[in-house]
Amino acid sequence: MENGFISFVLEHIAQFFSYTAFANMTIGHLVMIAVGLVFIYLAIAKEFEPMLLLPIGFGIIIGNIAFAPGLKIGIYESGSVLNYLHFGVLQGVYPPLIFLGIGAMTDFSALISNPKLVLVGGAAQLGIFGAYAIALALGFTSAEAGAIGIIGGADGPTAIFLSSKLAPDLMGAIAISAYSYMALVPVIQPPIMKLLTTEKERTIKMKPPRAVSKTERIMFPIIGLLLTCLLVPSGLPLLGMLFFGNLLKESTVTKRLADTAKGPLIDIVTILIGLTVGASTQATTFLTAKSIGIFVLGAISFVIATCGGVLFVKFFNLFLKGDNKINPLIGNAGVSAVPDSARVSEVVGLEFDKSNHLLMHAMGCNVAGVIGSAIAAGILLSFLS
């Protein structure tokens, strides 16, 4: 009787232990938890993209607490709560909602007043296709190469949207890579900008932007949508929502809708996307040679994108005269990474001329980069899906 009871207790203790994370943990899980902690540290202590790195970092920890299969806990386990939340990432629901909020909080006035800046946003997309070519050479499939290349667009929601369509298995690594490098924009871009420009070019003073009328601001999202999506309809989910959000803002008659889109809605979606993308990086799927390749390619794509933007401005200046010339230090802002890359332009510009404020001009390139990367994503989707 006593033996039976003891064996019963021991058996159930053993069974309980088999359900704990300790019994199911691997070295990979521990490594990923450490990565999650580093992300949280960077977000809190260094304030590197805290709105994203904090949810992603915590998500990585959540996703790498090992568990016994069959309890409907894991993000890949159908029926689990995390699985339902992850649906929004897998099916590309969250990124367009984030674009709605971005549209509602973006002021395109700088771009409208100096529309040639939109071309800088296009040139910086060279990073996407440069990384695509290198990824192909490294043996990735076309779809995977396209999904990896989009990291060079420096736009988190676009990267998640495209990778969910082209290479869902690589989405975690691509998203983490994109957001990591976006956080490192102030470290990556300045040396390249200084390397590619001369002292004289860095001190070019640009004409102040003119006042933009309300009519122009209202026309921009409508015309922008028609001109871009008629040519690249596959960019519709992102561009449609971006321009719609902007129209909500600029029309001034839907203030409540615009406030919701740029406030509570984008906050909620950011929390969900960050947490679930982080949780999708389970050690079993994340710690592979491909993930390392993705991180290397991500860095290369950022470098190419920055070079593309800066060099394009230098080239463009050959055709511009007088005060129409553009300071090449705003070329880096052609990658999206709103508004960090524009801030980098401002800071680097002030290093060489204390009175030369480039922020407003750089913001024009920056928002053009958002449009450009969404168009590029649409093109990749139409070619490779």
Partner 1 sequence: MKPIKIITLLLTLSACGLVSAQNATDLRINEVMVFNDSNVVDDYGNHVGWIEIYNTSYNTVNIGGLFLTDDAQNPIKSMIAKNHPQASIPPRSHFIMYATGDNSTGLRHLTFKLECGKTLYLFDGNGRTLLDSVKLPASMKADISYGRETDGADKWVLNEIATPAISNNHTSAAAEIDEFKKLDPFGVGMAAIAMTIVLSSLATLYFCFKLVGKIATRKKKHPFTAKNAQTGEAATDEVNAAIALALFLHSKQEHDEEYTVLTMRKVSRNYSPWSSKIYGMRKRPGGLTSY
Q: What residues line the site for partner 1 (CB under 8 A)?
A: 69-70, 74-78, 111-113, 115-116, 118-119, 121-123, 125-126, 128-130, 132-133, 135-137, 141-143, 145, 169-170, 210-216, 219-220, 223-224, 227-228, 231-232, 252, 255, 282, 284-285, 288, 290, 368, 371-372, 375-376, 379-380, 383-385
Nearest Cα neighbor of 223 from 200, 234, 203, 239 is 239
The residue (of 183 and 225) whose beta carbon lies closer to partner 1 is 225
Q: In whole angstroms, give the CA distance from residue 189 to residue 306.
A: 7
Beta carbons of 311 and 344 less than 8 angstroms apart: no
The residue (of 51 and 133) whose beta carbon lies closer to partner 1 is 133
Token pair of 4, please? 């039976």
Burial of 254-276, coded b for 16+ CB within 10 Å and e otherwise, reads: eeebbebbbeebbeebbebbbbb
> At closest approach, how far in Å is the CB of 112 from partner 1?
6
The residue (of 105 and 138) whose beta carbon lies closer to partner 1 is 138
Nearest Cα neighbor of 153 from 130, 184, 186, 119 is 130
Beta-strand ranges (E) seen in 173-237 are: none
DSSP 77: S
> At closest approach, how far in Å is the CB of 49 from partner 1?
25
Q: What angle, rounded to 10 degrees, do the helices at 359-384 and 156-166 form?
A: 0
> At closest approach, how far in Å is the CB of 70 from partner 1?
5
> At closest approach, how far in Å is the CB of 134 from partner 1?
8
> At closest approach, how far in Å is the CB of 119 from partner 1?
6
Residue type at position 379: I
Q: How far is CA 16 from CA 6, 19, 23, 34, in A?
A: 15, 5, 10, 26
Q: In whole angstroms, give the CA distance from residue 89 to residue 75.
A: 11
The residue (of 9 and 68) whose beta carbon lies closer to partner 1 is 68
Residue indicated by tokens 């995977």 = 144
49: left (phi over 0), alpha (psi -120 to 50) or beta: left
The residue (of 122 and 190) whose beta carbon lies closer to partner 1 is 122
> At closest approach, how far in Å is the CB of 214 from partner 1?
5
The residue (of 46 and 214) whose beta carbon lies closer to partner 1 is 214
The residue (of 142 and 356) whose beta carbon lies closer to partner 1 is 142
> At closest approach, how far in Å is the CB of 252 from partner 1?
8
Token pair of 8, please? 């019963």
The residue (of 333 and 380) whose beta carbon lies closer to partner 1 is 380
For the chain, the helix, strand and coil percentages under 3-state DSSP, each to the nearest 5: 80, 0, 20
Q: In whole angstroms, give the CA distance from residue 373 to residue 377.
A: 6
Beta carbons of 275 and 59 less than 8 angstroms apart: yes
The residue (of 135 and 192) whose beta carbon lies closer to partner 1 is 135
> At closest approach, how far in Å is the CB of 47 from partner 1?
30
> At closest approach, how far in Å is the CB of 348 from partner 1?
24
Q: In whole angstroms, give the CA distance from residue 108 to residue 369.
A: 12
Largest CA distance in the chain: 99
The residue (of 127 and 349) whose beta carbon lies closer to partner 1 is 127
> At closest approach, how far in Å is the CB of 116 from partner 1?
6
